[in-house]
Amino acid sequence: MLDTGSDLVWTQCFCQVCFPQPFPELDTSASGTARGVSCFDPLCAQGGLSLSGCAVSDNSCIYTDSYGDNSVTTAKLYEDTFTFQQAPNGKAVVVPNLRFGCSMFNTGMFGSNESGIAGFGRGAPSPAFLGTPDNLQAQATGRLQSTPLVRNPESNHYYLSLKGITVGKTRLPFDASAFTLKGDGSGGTIIDSGLALTSVPEAVYRSLVEEFESQVPLPVNKNNTDEHEGLLCFTASPKKKETAMPKLILHLEGADWDLQRENYVLYTEEDGLCVVISSAGEDSRSLIGNFQQQNTHIVYDLEHNMLVFVPARCDKL
Q: Is 215 helix (H, G, I), strand (E, B) or coil?
A: helix
pLDDT surpassing 80 at residue 151: yes
Please tell me the predicted confidence (pLDDT) of residue 126: 64
Q: Is residue 167 part of a domain?
A: yes
The CATH number assigned to the domain holding 287 equals 2.40.70.10
Q: Is residue 125 part of a domain?
A: no
List the one residue out of 145, 147, 144 whose CA is nearest residue 252.
147
Is residue 227 left, alpha or beta, with left meaning phi > 0 and alpha meaning psi from -120 to 50?
A: alpha
Q: Is 170 helix (H, G, I), strand (E, B) or coil?
A: strand
Q: Is 199 helix (H, G, I), strand (E, B) or coil?
A: strand
Clarify whether residues 68 and 109 are in a common domain: yes
The pLDDT-based confidence of 185 (bands split at 50, 70, 90) is very high
DSSP string, 113-167: T-SEEEE-SSSTTSPPP----S-TTTTB-S--EEEEEE--TT-SSEEE-EEEEEE
Clarify whether residues 161 and 263 are in a common domain: yes
- Domain end marker among 61, 85, 119: 119
All residues at 6 or more sequence positions from 47 whose CB lies less than 8 Å from its CB, including other chains? 123, 124, 125
The pLDDT-based confidence of 48 (bands split at 50, 70, 90) is low
Q: Is residue 284 part of a domain?
A: yes
Q: Is residue 129 part of a domain?
A: no
pLDDT surpassing 70 at residue 234: yes
| In contact, 54 and 39? CB cutoff 8 Å | yes
pLDDT surpassing 70 at residue 114: yes
Q: Is residue 194 part of a domain?
A: yes
Clarify whether residues 154 and 115 are in a common domain: no
Instruction: List the helix and strand counts (H, then E) for the chain.
Output: 2, 23
Residue 78: what residue type?
Y
Q: How many domains is the chain built from?
A: 2
Clarify whether residues 152 and 114 are in a common domain: no
Q: Which of 131-135, 222-226, 236-240 has the highest mean pLDDT?
A: 236-240
The residue ranking higher by pLDDT, 98 or 274, is 274
Please tell me the predicted confidence (pLDDT) of residue 58: 79
List the one residue out of 304, 297, 309 whose CA is nearest residue 149.
304
pLDDT surpassing 80 at residue 9: yes
Q: Cα(249)–Cα(201) distance, rounded to whole angstroms?
A: 16
pLDDT surpassing 70 at residue 145: yes
| Residues 162, 249, 283, 295, CA torsion sign | negative
Clarify whether residues 196 and 302 are in a common domain: yes
Q: Is residue 200 part of a domain?
A: yes
Clarify whether residues 113 and 150 are in a common domain: no
Please tell me the predicted confidence (pLDDT) of residue 135: 57
List the one residue out of 133, 118, 122 whose CA is nearest residue 299.
133
Clarify whether residues 113 and 157 are in a common domain: no
Q: Is residue 32 part of a domain?
A: yes
- Domain end marker among 83, 102, 119: 119
pLDDT surpassing 60 at residue 133: no
Please tell me the predicted confidence (pLDDT) of residue 46: 57
Structural domain harbouring 104: 2-119
Give mean pLDDT, residues 165-177: 95
The residue ranking higher by pLDDT, 160 or 89, is 160
Give mean pLDDT, residues 70-84: 88
Clarify whether residues 61 and 193 are in a common domain: no
Clarify whether residues 193 and 306 are in a common domain: yes
Q: Cα(168)–Cα(135) distance, rounded to whole angstroms?
A: 32
Clarify whether residues 163 and 20 are in a common domain: no
Clarify whether residues 302 and 172 are in a common domain: yes
Q: Is residue 140 part of a domain?
A: no
Q: Cα(13)–Cα(62) distance, rounded to whole angstroms?
A: 13
pTM of the model: 0.84
Q: Cα(75)–Cα(51) distance, rounded to whole angstroms?
A: 10
52 CB neighbour count, 10 Å cutoff: 14
Q: Cα(146)–Cα(76) distance, rounded to whole angstroms?
A: 38
| In contact, 75 and 50? CB cutoff 8 Å | no
Q: Cα(252)–Cα(165) distance, rounded to whole angstroms?
A: 9
Q: Cα(199)–Cα(138) distance, rounded to whole angstroms?
A: 30
Please tell me the predicted confidence (pLDDT) of residue 270: 95
Give mean pLDDT, residues 15-21: 87
Clarify whether residues 169 and 311 are in a common domain: yes
Q: Cα(309)–Cα(317) distance, rounded to whole angstroms?
A: 16
Give mean pLDDT, residues 20-48: 84
